[in-house]
Structure 1
Amino acid sequence: MAVVVVVHLTAGSGVGFLPLISLGPAFAGLVGGWRRTAWIGGLALALTLGLGLYNDLLGHRRGATALVSVGGVTVAGLVAAVMRQRREAELANVRSIAEVAQRVLLRPVPLAAGPLRVAVSYTSAVADARIGGDLYEVVATPYGVRTIVGDVQGKGLEAVETAAVILGAFREAAYDEPVLTAVGERLEQALYRHVRTTEKFVTAVLAESGPERAMTLLNYGHPAPLVVRGDGSATFLPPPERALPLGLALHGAKGPVPHTVDFAPGDQVLFYTDGVSEARDARGEFYPLGQRAALLRAANPQVAVEALRQNLVAHAAGPPHDDAAMLLLRYREDEPATGDGPASDSDPAVGTGPTTGTGPTTESAPVGRFRSGG
């Protein structure tokens, strides 16, 4: 508006720039509230009226056209601003309800459980995504610290519902069942009741770490976890036999065989979904996760996972095509030689991490337990 006034005064009224003052209330209606739009519109009308009197245009068609243009655009801007503010308020209410529901249904991941430190990172392929088909949970039970990381087939609300079923069954079975294979059977039964005869399935890996400084793994067709030893060496932990994902027991295949690996102070195990291992760069090459194990050497496990996430995003060089969830379990090096049992629910070391999110969503230690995408 100031530019239009200067041009009008220097170039003269014959240029016909006066109606362009209506750009002020037009832009105000796009970005401001109705009060600001009304104020800018009133200022535009005052400037138009003043310049019309200064150049003696009010008695001519050009001056009347300028006044009508500014007045009409101001009214249109007010209507647009009111409608936009109403839609923004409705969207804010919906998001608030979704966040509250998520916090009620999904407990935060603990930062520590027994002798283990926990870190989580999540990168969503969908802008502003909050919940979906990538799932993970860590619980300290009388039988040890038990973990699940999984990926539901498909996307959308059906994937969210399936992930909720798996997580609910895991939280109950992890405390009730003394054997990890029995936990897996409970998950299979819960998923069967949910999907019945459909082909919905969930790849998942279950882990149990107790005071004996070993970790037992049960892999349902999920990518093999990556173990990084205290000396810096890294290797994957494939199951002794391949097994079908959860939900495909109707095909008559036997369940996975549990296998135990050493897990001592200074060691750490990274669980992840296929959004990490199958991320491709511009040349179509997969993300070399095993070669990036050195990024997990940071003293703070959350910093280590965040460094790995940033490297993954740089490798993809663009928006991710699939969700990428990572969960890191680190055996604390300062743990006494006798070892401690798992933390109880009242353990003061158990906490929650901060939550951040943008679109595409990137989170470190998110409040949710499962995320968008399959």
Structure 2
Amino acid sequence: MGAGRVPVVDIHSLPDVHLGPLLVIAPALTASLAGPRLTALVGALAVAAQMLIAVFHGGLTTPNHLSQITALTLLSALVVFVCHVRERRSRELTRARSVAETAQLVLLRPPRRRTGPLRVAWLYLAAEDETRIRGDLFAIARSDRGTRVIIGDVRGKGLAAIGEASMVLGAFREGAHRFDSLPELAAGLEDVADTEHDPGEHFITALLLDIPDHDTQVEMINCGHPPPLLLHDGQVTVLHARRPVPPLGMCELPAPSHRADPFTFEDGDTLLLYTDGVTEARSPQGAFYPSPSAPPPRPRPDPRPCSATSTATC
């Protein structure tokens, strides 16, 4: 029965039958589909309809009709207030999402598809719309003899994580040109990531790579980050660090000396870097994402098909 028919049916019903309270359905349903102004209008019409029912059933001054009119007025006002709060929070969330997306895009600037002899592809996907501000970081910088790469993840979320990630990325881009060796660059990042407040609570997992232009030996320093994957001749190898290092910010200064792990990276190989968003991803049924070490169906020269990772470089 539509809410607009309630007054007609109530007027033609027996005196002991009261259908007026059903009028509250009208503003309640309107609030779920429209804004506070239209909800207020529908609420006012519902109150007017209740008053019309009272005129035909004993008058406006009867205790029963007075209580129904008062209750409907209060309920309609409450529905309008809730609708107003919901719309305001929706606008605030929209603005926050816009700021989050802008901050994340500024932090994770897409690299060029071609960097020296390397072809590069990357992808960032947030798990939920409300959590787009995260501490993932990724950057590529050219040095005198090759390409240096960093991928990492700041503990936590929000603007604090963005600030720490931005600080580390700035130090990486500046240090990639200033430091001659990868251990020196890692030590410089350790100095930047060190926090005197809440020691052990603020840290950054990071993976550093030094990829020369004219050599197949790549250097890697892994500071507590998920290991990269190397695809060579259709076989996937997990590049575990032989000399693992704690995440940035967890070592007391002066930081211990870092030692790089070498591995072979030849023409035609694919190197996949990712964050814990891949290893912790689950299907709608709750199953974890398949092991990233599983080989792809077939090797492909274009790195862009690597679309299942949160952040990837090939």
TM-score, with structure 1 as normaliser = 0.66
Residues 150 and 204 in structure 1, CA contact (< 8 A), matched pair in contact too? yes
2:152 alignment counterpart: 150
Any unmatched runs of 5+ in structure 1? 310-324, 330-374
- Give the letter for the 2:70 counterpart: V
Q: CA deviation at 1:36?
A: 0.7
Q: Which residue number in structure 2 is paired with residue 117 of structure 1?
A: 120
Report how far residue 255 of structure 1 moved. 0.9
Preserved contact between residue 144 and residue 208 of structure 1 (Cα < 8 Å) = yes
Q: Which amino acid is 1:228 matched to?
A: L
**Aligned: 1:133 with 2:164:** no
1:361 is matched with none
**Residue 327 in 1 paired to residue 297 in 2?**
no
Which position in structure 1 is the counterpart of 2:203? 201
* CA distance in 2: counterparts of 1:79 and 1:184, whole angstroms: 55
Unaligned runs of 5+ in 2: none
Deviation string, structure 1 residues 167-192 (Cα, Å, up to 9, x no partner): 12111112333433332222122223
Q: Are the equivalent residues in 2 in contact too, given 1:4–1:18 (CA < 8 A)?
A: no
Q: Which amino acid aligns with 2:109?
A: P
2:214 is aligned to 212
Instruction: From the superposition, tell whether residues 70 and 87 of structure 1 become closer, same or farther in structure 2 (CA, over 3 Å).
Output: same
Alpha-carbon distance, 1:96 to partner: 4.2
Q: Distance in 2 between matches of 1:252 and 1:287?
A: 36
Query: Is structure 2 residue 182 aligned with structure 1 residue 169?
Result: no
CA contact (8 A) 1:113 1:139 kept: no
Q: 3-state DSSP class of the match of 2:293? A: helix
For 1:144-175, what per-residue CA distance to the aligned partner results, in whole angstroms no more than 9, with x for missing partners?
A: 33211123345666544432322121111123
Distance 1:17 1:80, change over 3 A: same
Change (3 A) 1:182 1:117: same
Task: Determine the C-alpha separation between the residues in 1 that align with 2:93 and 2:279.
Answer: 35
Give 2:170's aligned amino acid: G
Q: 1:296 to 1:205 in 2, by over 3 A?
A: farther
CA distance in 1, matches of 2:44, 2:198: 66
Distance verdict in 2 for CA 1:278–1:249, change over 3 Å: farther
1:22 to 21, 24, 28: 24
Residues of 2 paired with 1:220 and 1:288: CA distance?
21
Partner in structure 2 of residue 355 of structure 1: none
1:305-330: per-residue Cα shift (whole Å, max 9, x none)? 2xx35xxxxxxxxxxxxxxx43131x
Is the Cα contact below 8 Å between 2:149 and 2:209 reproduced in 1? Answer: yes
Task: Confirm whether residue 9 of structure 1 aligns to residue 9 of structure 2.
Answer: yes
Change in CA separation of 1:103 and 1:223 when aligned onto 2, cut-off 3 Å: closer
* Counterparts in 2 of 1:206 and 1:296: CA distance versus 1, 3 Å: farther
SS in 2 for 1:207: strand
CA distance in 2, matches of 1:91, 1:121: 21
The separation in 2 between residues aligned to 1:143 and 1:57, in whole angstroms, is 95
Give the deviation of 1:240 after TM superposition: 3.6
Tell me the TM-score normalized by structure 2: 0.77
Give the corresponding residue for 2:293. 290
The Cα shift of 1:221 comes to: 3.3
SS at match of 2:141: strand
For 2:2, give the aligned amino acid.
A
Higher relative contact order (CA 8 A, sep 6+): 1
